[in-house]
Structure 1
Amino acid sequence: MIALKTPLTRLMAAALLASTASLALAAPAMAGADGAVKIGILNDRSGPYSDATGEGAVVAARMAVEDFGGKALGKDVEIVSADHQNKADIGSSTVNRWLDVEGVDAIFDVPNSGVLLALQEIVRNKDGILVSSGGGVSKFTGEACSPYGFQWSYDTYSVANALGRATVAEGGDNWFLVQVDYAFGEALAGDLTKAITEAGGKIAGSVKHPLNTPDFSSYLLQAQGSGANTVALINAGGDTVNALKQAKEFGLADSGQKMVAMLFFNTDVLAIGADDLKGLTAINGYEASLNAETQAFGERFAKLHGTWPTSLQIGVYSAVNHYLKAVEAAGTDARDQVAAKMREMPVEDLFVKGGKVRADGLMIHDMLLTEVKPSSESKTRGDVFKVVRAIPGDEAFRPLDKGGCPLVK
C-alpha cells in the first residue's frame, strides 16, 4: 500500500473514497434498472378497493410475466408491490423510493384517482411509465395527460357514457347521485351528469359521502325522498357493497327506484349475493367468463387467489403483457422508446382484441354492458355476469379531440 504523505494526496484519496461510497449507494437503483426489468404494483391492499384490485392484481401481473416467459431483453422480470392506503402522500413516497432507489421501470394499477393524479406528475418529471387499471379519472388522459401515462381498463367517461345513456334509454330519466367525496367521485359525477342530460334525462339531486364510510342511511334516505326513479352509486368496492346492502334494507328497489352501481365487479356480487341484486346492470371492460380461453384463465387465477379475477385485475394482466411486448419490440427498457412502442403496437391478448393506445395514453377497447345473473344460472363462482352487449370502444370512450390533452395535435 502506498503511504499518503502529503495533504494533496490525502485530499485526492478522500475524494476517491467519497466517489466510491456514492456509487455504492446508487448501486441498488442501477442494479434494478440494468439487471432486471422491474414492475411495481401499487394499489389498495387493505381498504375498500382491496377485493377488486389488491393482491389479485399482483397475481395477475405474475401470471402475465409467467406467460411472457419470465424475461424481457434476456433479463429477469421482477415484481414489487405496495399498499398506498388510498393516501396520495403514501403513494407518492412509495413511487419516489421505487424510482430513485429501487430501479422500478413501470408502475401498474393505482386505484384511487387522487393518488393516480399525484403519481402522474411524479413520473412525468422523473422516470418510469405509469399504467392505470384501477384508477379511472378521465382527467388522467385529458388535461393531465403525459407521454408516460396510460389508462387501461376504463375511465369515468366511458362508464358514465355507456351506462348513463343505456339506462336513460330504458326509462331511467330522473337521477339521484350518491357519490364518494374525492377526485374519482367528482369526475364520474361530472361525466355522468353530462351523459344523462345529453340523453334527455335530468338530475334530481346529489349527495357526497366520505371514502370507506360504514353508514349510508342518511344518504339513501335523501335519495329515497328525492322523487328520482334512478339512484346512482358513484363509488366502488366496499362502499358500493355497503350502500347496496343498506339500500335493500331501506327498500329502495322495492319502492320502484332502480339502483345503478357505476363500478361493480364479480367480487361485489359474491359479497352481496346475486339473488339480492335483481339483474343489476354494470359496465366492465373485460369479463372472464366470455369464452373457453378466458374461462380457463379465470380457473387458473382462482387456484392462485381464491376468486375469479375482476375486470381491473384482468386489466393489470393485459397492461403488463403489452408493456413487456413493447420492451421487447423497442429493444430497450428506456421509457421514451417503450412508451412510443406501446402507442404504436395493437393490443392483443386473451381479453383485448384489436385494442389501440391513443396519443393521450387511453387504451381503446370494447366495453361490456353486463347484468348480474340469478344464482341458478351461474355455472361457477366466476360466472356471475351475462353480457347484454358489447359497446365498441370508439363509441364508449371520449373522442380524442375532446379531452384537452396537450399531446393531441
Structure 2
Amino acid sequence: MRSLLAGGALMALATMPALAQVSDDVVKIGVLTDMGGVTADIGGKGSVIAAELAVKEFGATVLGKPIQIVAADHQHKADLGTSIARQWFDIDKVDAVVDVPNSAVALALQSLAREKKRIVMYSGAGTTALTNEQCSPYGFHWTYDTYGVARGTASAVVKAGGTSWFMLASDYAFGHQLQKDATDVVEANGGKVVGAVRHPLNNADFSSFLLRAQSSGAKVIGIANAGGDTINAIKQAGEFGLVEQGQNLAALIFFLQDVHSLGLKATQGTYLTTASYWDLDEPSRAWSKQFLEKAGMMPSMLHAGVYGSVLHYLKAIKEAGTDDPDKVAAAMRAMPINDAFTKDARIRADGRVLREMYLARVKKPADSKGPWDYFEIVRKVAPEETVWPLSESKCPGAKG
C-alpha cells in the first residue's frame, strides 16, 4: 500500500509542471488601443470586445490558469504608450499586447517588448518597419501593412486609368510609409506622382491641402491616412466638388466604419484592400453576429485581427505547455493560423503573417441590402502579392 501511495505521489508530482508553467498563475493580455481618437471606431472598445470573444471561444482557462484581458488608451502618444506597456510588463505582469493602432506607438513598443521579452501582436499598426528594420523575435505583424494595402489598391486604380496622382498623407510614421509604398506601386505600374502634402494627425480642416491637390491637375488624389482623418478628407473633398470636376479619390487604407460614417453615396466605387470582411462566409458571419450584439457594429479588419491574434496566442500556449515567450513564439510560428476569418495562414520568419487579402469595391446604394452590406469582393489576393519580399528584408535572421 505504501508503495502504491508513493508511486501515486510521484505520478502527481510528475504531472504538476504541465499545470504550473504559467507565470504568476494567470495569462494576462493587454489591449493597447485608441479609445477616443481618430481610430477609435476601427479599434478602441471593439478591439477589447474582439479579444474577449477570442477568450470565450478558446475557453476561460489555459493550462489550468485563468485568462485576463486588460486595456488602455495610448492616445496616439508614443511616450504614453510605452509608459503604459512598461507598467504592464514590470508591475502588472502582462504577458502579451495586441492591437496598437498607431505606427509610432508600435515602433516604440517594439523596442521595449524586445528588451522585456514580451510578445506583441500588431493588428492596428501599418508600418512595414515592424517586420523589416525593427523586427523582433517577439513581434508579429498580424492584419495588414502599408505595403500590402498600397499594392492592392493603387495598382488597381492605375490599371483602371488613374495614371497621375497627388498624395495627401498624415504626417507620422504610418502616413509616411503608406505614401512611399503607394508611390512605388504607382510608378512601378507606369503612373506618376505629381505632388504631395502632409497633414497633422487628427486634422479637422483639409481645405488648404485639397486646394493644392486640385490645382495639381492629378487624375487621382491618394488619401494616405486612416480613421477620422480619412472621413474628414473624403467628406471635404465632396464639399469641394473634386470628383464632379473630374478627379478621383483613392483611399489607400479604408475601413467598413469609414463607409458607414460617410455613406454609400459618397464612397460608392471606391477600391480598397482588406484582410477580412464580415460577410465572406458562414464562420465570418456567425462571429460577426456575436460582435455586432456586443459592439453595435460589424467588425473592422483590425477587430478581426485582434480576435485572431489572441486566439492563436492562446492556442500556442496550450501547444507549448508554457507561457514562456520564447517557446510560445516558436509555437506560434510552427502552427497554422485558423479562425473565423483566416484559413491556414502562416507566420514568416520576420513576424509577418502570410494571409489572403481581398480587393474590394464599395457597393452602389442600390446594390446594398442593408446596414453594413457595403463591400463587393472583387478578388482574393494571394500573400505573395501583398508582403514585402523576404529576399529584400532588412530583418536580422529573417532569411535563415
Q: Which residue of 2 aligns with 1:224?
A: 214
Q: Which residue of 2 aligns with 1:54?
A: 44
TM-score, normalised with respect to structure 1: 0.91
Distance 2:31 2:391 in 1: 31
Q: Is the 8 A contact 1:146 1:407 kept in 2?
A: no
Q: CA deviation at 1:379?
A: 2.9
Paired residues in the alignment total 380
Alignment of 1:342-357 (within 5 A): 342-357=332-347
Distance 1:201 1:321 in 2: 41
- Asked if residue 163 in structure 1 is aligned to residue 153 in structure 2, the reply is yes
**Aligned with residue 214 of structure 1, among 200, 204, 208:** 204
Q: CA deviation at 1:302?
A: 0.7
**Aligned with residue 308 of structure 2, among 318, 329, 341:** 318
Q: CA deviation at 1:336?
A: 0.1
**Aligned with residue 352 of structure 2, among 352, 362, 384:** 362
Show structure 1 runs of 5+ residues with no match. Answer: 1-31
2:260 partner amino acid = L
Q: Is the 8 A contact 1:289 1:382 kept in 2?
A: no
1:85-138 Cα offsets, whole Å, 9 max, x none, are: 000011000000000000100000001100000000000001310110000100
1:34 partner amino acid = D
Distance 1:41 1:365 in 2: 22
1:326-350 Cα offsets, whole Å, 9 max, x none, are: 1110000000000011111111111
Q: Which residue of 2 aligns with 1:68?
A: 58
1:289-326 Cα offsets, whole Å, 9 max, x none, are: 11122112212111101001001100001111111111
Distance 2:44 2:28 in 1: 19
**Aligned with residue 264 of structure 1, among 247, 254, 267:** 254
Distance 1:226 1:121 in 2: 40
Distance 1:239 1:150 in 2: 26
Secondary structure of 1:282's aligned partner: strand
Q: Which residue of 1 aligns with 2:378?
A: 388
Q: Which residue of 2 aligns with 1:236?
A: 226
Residues 76, 379 of structure 1: alpha-carbon distance in 2 compared, 3 angstrom cutoff: farther
Q: CA deviation at 1:153?
A: 0.6
Distance 2:289 2:334 in 1: 32
- Tell me how large the CA RMSD over aligned residues is: 1.4
Q: Is the 8 A contact 1:147 1:407 kept in 2?
A: no
Distance 1:227 1:275 in 2: 24
Distance 2:186 2:299 in 1: 30
Q: Identical aligned pairs, as a percentage?
A: 46
TM-score, normalised with respect to structure 2: 0.93
**Aligned with residue 94 of structure 2, among 97, 104, 123:** 104
Q: Which residue of 1 aligns with 2:275?
A: 285
**Aligned with residue 322 of structure 2, among 317, 327, 332:** 332
Q: CA deviation at 1:396?
A: 1.5
Q: CA deviation at 1:375?
A: 3.0
**Aligned with residue 379 of structure 1, among 356, 362, 369:** 369
Show structure 2 runs of 5+ residues with no match. Answer: 1-21
- Asked if residue 42 in structure 1 is aligned to residue 42 in structure 2, the reply is no
- Asked if residue 198 in structure 1 is aligned to residue 188 in structure 2, the reply is yes
Secondary structure of 2:72's aligned partner: strand
Distance 1:403 1:247 in 2: 37
- Structure 1 residue runs of 4+, over 3 Å off? none
Q: CA deviation at 1:62?
A: 0.3
| Max Rg structure | 1
- Asked if residue 251 in structure 1 is aligned to residue 223 in structure 2, the reply is no
Secondary structure of 2:226's aligned partner: coil
- Asked if residue 141 in structure 1 is aligned to residue 127 in structure 2, the reply is no
Q: Which residue of 1 aligns with 2:109?
A: 119
Alignment of 1:19-38 (within 5 A): 33-38=23-28
Secondary structure of 1:369's aligned partner: strand
Q: CA deviation at 1:367?
A: 1.3
Q: Which residue of 2 aligns with 1:153?
A: 143
Q: Is the 8 A contact 1:356 1:364 kept in 2?
A: yes
Distance 2:263 2:151 in 1: 27
2:312 partner amino acid = H
Distance 1:102 1:192 in 2: 40
Q: Which residue of 2 aligns with 1:131?
A: 121
Distance 2:175 2:274 in 1: 17
Q: Is the 8 A contact 2:268 2:365 kept in 1?
A: no
